[in-house]
Amino acid sequence: MMRSTLPARIVDKVEALKREAGIAACSFVSNGMTLGLGTGSTVRYTVLEIGRRMAEEGLQVKGVPTSEATRYLAEGLDIPLLTLKQAGEIDLTIDGADEFDPDFQLIKGGGGALTQEKRVAAASKAMVVVADDRKQVPVLGRFDLPLEVGTGDWERVRDELDSICPGPVRLRGGQTSYVTDNGGHILDCEFGPTITNPSQLEELILSVDGVVEVGLFVGMCDAVVMATPSEVLTMVKQGGRLD
């Protein structure tokens, strides 16, 4: 197992700031909301805080989980859950991100839940991302772009992506390939920081037969609650749905 090379006190501080950011995102939550509950280490603190507020403050909300891991966490906190179909329109989704750029465009899918995350975000009136400042980039693509593909399609899709992606396209997990909650596989595409037009790239990749979903979230994020080494900052997209 790979161990962190950072001193324990720095790891603890980073984790404390992630927790603070996850809790701060709950400032967007109000009574009676239906919430999209995201996936990831930082937004986990948001879900925990929602559970605490329900138990201690009488907050009443319902959740739509974006992964099986989040569903298990929410069930343990007695957060009432709905399927996306049952929920219909969602008031607010709070989720993590692997990268976000100055235009609040995202790369997501490092945790493998990108398809459900995207469906939930698309059904939401607004979206708040919780992240640490390592996820803030001038141009998307330093983090490998994940795609979900059908299990029988990954080799053909990989070969087709060779003409689109400037770097390697890898099957996540290799021989012991990762399987998503939907029963698909993930291809991680090494674009590097070159994704200056995420909308165009998303459309191009989705046109490849066998691609279920791509981890570019374009025009979905309205605010980012970001943990920095010294504080937690909330950035709201100008002209967005929370402005």
Q: Catalytic residue numbers?
A: 117
Query: What would the two tokens of residue 214 be?
Result: 């791509």
50 close to 29: Cβ distance less than 8 angstroms: yes
Identify the burial level of 28 via C-beta atoms within 10 angstroms of its C-beta, where 0-12 means exposed, 13-18 middle and 19 or more buried: buried
Say which residues have a Cβ less than 8 Å from residue 208's Cβ, sequence separation at least 6.
157, 160, 161, 164
How many other C-beta atoms can be found within 10 angstroms of the C-beta atom of residue 72? Answer: 10
Report how far residue 178's alpha carbon sits from residue 191's, in angstroms, rounded to the nearest whole number: 21
